[in-house]
Chain A
Amino acid sequence: MTWPGRSVAARRRRAAGRAAPGPLREYLAVPSPSRETPLEDLPLLALDLETTGLDPRSDRVLSAGWVPVDGDRIVLGGARRLLVRDAGEVGQSATVHGITDDALGAGRPLEEVVGELLGALAGRVLLAHFARVETRFLDAACRRFWGARMPVEVVDTLELERRLLPGGGEAPQAPGALRLWTARARRGLPLYSAHEALTDALACAELYLAQRSELEHATPERTTALRHVVA
């Protein structure tokens, strides 16, 4: 997902010049938070996409869940969970997500769902656990619907977890040590039964608050800013 040698801001300007009128262009018109923004002021949007697989070329988005984080607060009032209605069958992934074809029949077209998501993401940093899935699917959708890429600043709780574990990310980790639910269990965060997009987004946001406080506790001499945590 990286475009070496170019700042996110430059890539956003470039994409804004190419994007067709619509949600993507509006999203790109709102500046992304500066990398110097202290975490206590940083607006983020915790996002989880439920997909049928990991490859945007062959797999589909089934639902999107998100919840805003303003500095040290999760704003539950901004939480959304949108189902995507699309051609094709859910197949085997239904056993993981619990989203049946019937439920998807009640969803909205992907273009609308991504459009609304871009509205919520404007002016915020994207927050996700193993964010590559989210950024790749969103990037693919934006190119398909509006003809431009979607450069975005990202904070990845999986990357933060790797840094927070003993060895500072250098040491090899036990299998599964970086998974969202393992990272949460390590901190005594609540157990969640459901695995759907909004629950996972909320779980990611809660994990971020815990990681953030650990990071700041570990480095009391500095004001931790976006540049210290950006993926």
Chain B
Amino acid sequence: MALEVELAEVRDFLAQHEPFAGLPAPVLEDLPARMSMRYVRRGAPVIARGEDNHHLVLLRSGAADVHDAQGTLVDRGEAGTSFGSITLTQGNPSTFAVTAIEDCLLLLLPAEDFHALCRAHPDFAAFFDAQRRHRMQGAVAALQLSASGTAILKTTVRELVAREPVSVPSATSIREAARVMAEQRVSSVLVMERGRVAGILTDRDLRTRVVAGGVDASAPVAQVMTADPVTTSVESLAFEALLTMTSRHIHHLPLVDAEGRAAGVVTTTDLLRLEEANPVYLAGDIVKQPDVEGVARSASRLPRVVQGLVEQDASADDIGRVATAVGDAVERRVIALAEAELGPPPVPYCWVALGSRARLEQALASDQDTALLVDDALDEDGQAWFEALAERVTEGLVRCGYPRCRGEVMATNPRWRKPVAAWEREFSSWLSAPTPEAVLHSSIFFDMRAVHGQEELLVRLRRHVLRATPGAQTFLAHLARHAGAHEPPLGFFRGFVLEKAGEHRDTLDIKRGGILPVVELARVHALAVGSAAVNTRARLAAAAEGGALSAELAEDLRDAFEFIGYVRLRHQSEQVRAGQVSDNFVAPDSLSSFEKRHLREAFAIVRFAQQALGRRYLTQFVS
């Protein structure tokens, strides 16, 4: 051979590392000449966050770390590891930072050659899909890493203080100061001199120093205030404030900003409220309420609880369980209160939660989805009792912040309030002759969970349904088609797939576009293997176990579901913080680039799973 462009060492190196190892020999032979090499010192960026990248970067020697937008380590690679595929497939700039942790020699493959390889070699492309998913899992895990630690250790006092400080000048009379406190409904007032906090006057001071001490109420407030009170910075942790207050036996602690200006007052009650945001405390509180008003008052704290959990980076799965537990507590208490008024039920029954609460996946902005399973011995008179129960409970739930279901899927609807035998007939007809309506109904009614009463009634119905489902191929095919009907908005990052009209114009319906597609996929796969699981994660696990889903895809879907759920809860939590009503409509501008990137990956996984499901049931042939 007269002329050899033989970069044997580079070619051999590529041949030793996936995904290059899987490429045909002639392709491998040709690749080194398309590459260039760079050297990066330890500590220097391989790919800088926020900058454009136009190469697939392969570590020839050395080691590098990948950090996500939050600065969390999501991957680490040594010789043979590739970086940069995310920007090449999903666009610049990079949201990840790849940094050399040892001196690195890099092989760079230009973007166009990378894309040509992906097109020509599906295994090559699939390797990078999997790598992206892996880095996404790292990102999800990182979000939850900080879930430990309680609110009091993480919250600053600034976050506890909802209002501007109430203050009076030092020359103000005691009477006038008391009037201001009464008017503003506060238990203390700051006394100001030349813009500084000169003192504080509390309810207790009025009691002990003014009334008990016989001081004239027209005297200046400076005479009875606590002068030069202990203050703390608005940036202190609630924990530190609590320590200060308990060690000095005080109940009011003025807050000052960096310039020494008054920024508010934190009270022991504020600190206790932090613990009220503890979901265990909330559920316990609900059970103790003597009437629906009390339940409603307690339940109104749920949004704050969810917000607190989101801020503590609890997982979407955990938050779903908490919101569900609170929802259950509310419903059980309202049912118990109704039963107390109506007298004992004429026959046994089971009050059933449907939909997201049945799956332990409730978020905020949930409406009611309920049904009643009644013992077959039900007679005419009994029906009236159950109708009254359904009315009272539904009305009570509305007062507690759970609006009526717009589709009337509630126990108040006689269709969804009947003896178990009638339920069994209903399901049988859905399974044997699936109409579009039947498929829609089943999608709600396969997600059932007993909340109150005789659980055996639901167990009986579920057994009946599960016996029939795996064989009902036509029905499953319809359900599969239904599951593929809500495509996740994969174009989210190009033109955005948004609501086109109405109140929620220019927003993304994250429930319909993200949550429900996974719920539906998990449901049809779990039913196909005869699983009784209701929770989406449990269904995915059951489907993987039963062979309906690959373990890998099940895991990917679980992570995608978690991430989409997280984005929804973050959105709702911000609405709570802003004093708005929570919903599922996310404005794209409110998403960080980290969230956009991972949402897109999550949507891609969901779409892939929908297509796989479509092929399995050949949904295009079912009409």
Q: Please list the residues of chain A having a beta carbon within 8 angstroms of any beta carbon in chain B.
A: 72-77, 79-83, 106-108, 187-190, 192-194, 198-199, 202, 205-206, 209-210, 212-214, 217
Contacts and interface: CB of A to CB of B under 8 A. Distances in A.
Contacts of B102: 188
B422 interface: no
Contact residues of A: prevailing secondary structure: mixed
8 contacts: A74-B37, A76-B35, A80-B3, A189-B105, A190-B60, A190-B105, A194-B8, A210-B39
A207 to B, nearest CB: 9
B279 interface: no
Contact of A206 (B37, B40, B79, B108): B37
Contact of B4 (A76, A81, A189, A214): A81
B37 A210 contact: no
B2 interface: yes
B254 interface: no
Contacts of A190: 9, 13, 60-61, 79, 105
B9 A206 contact: no
A214 B103 CA distance: 10
Contacts of A77: 33-36
A201 to B, nearest CB: 10
Interface residues of B, number: 29
A206 B62 CA distance: 13
Contacts of A72: 38-39
B2 A213 contact: no
A3 B502 CA distance: 84
A136 B103 CA distance: 34
Contacts of B10: 76, 202
B257 to A, nearest CB: 40
B28 to A, nearest CB: 14
B32 to A, nearest CB: 5
A202 B7 contact: yes
Contacts of A193: 9
Contacts of B32: 76, 79
A106 B1 contact: yes
B34 A82 contact: no
B41 interface: yes
B13 A81 contact: no
Contacts of A108: 2
Contacts of B108: 73
Nearest to A116: B3
A188 B61 CA distance: 7
A213 B39 contact: yes
A74 B36 contact: yes
B7 A206 contact: no
Given A77-B35, A206-B105, 4 more contacts: A81-B6, A190-B13, A206-B37, A209-B105
Contacts of B33: 76-77, 79
A30 to B, nearest CB: 22
B5 interface: yes
Instruction: Please list the 7 inter-chain residue pairs (A to B) with the smallest Cβ-Cβ separation, ordered nearest first.
Output: A209-B39, A74-B37, A81-B4, A73-B36, A77-B33, A213-B41, A76-B35
A72 B39 CA distance: 7
Contacts of B5: 79-81
Given A106-B2, A188-B61, A76 B41 contact: no
A199 B38 contact: no
Q: Which of A72, A82, A190, A206 has the most CB of B within 10 A?
A: A190
B598 to A, nearest CB: 32
Nearest to B34: A77
Contacts of B3: 80, 82
Contacts of B8: 194, 199
Nearest to A78: B33
A73 B62 CA distance: 17
Contacts of B79: 190
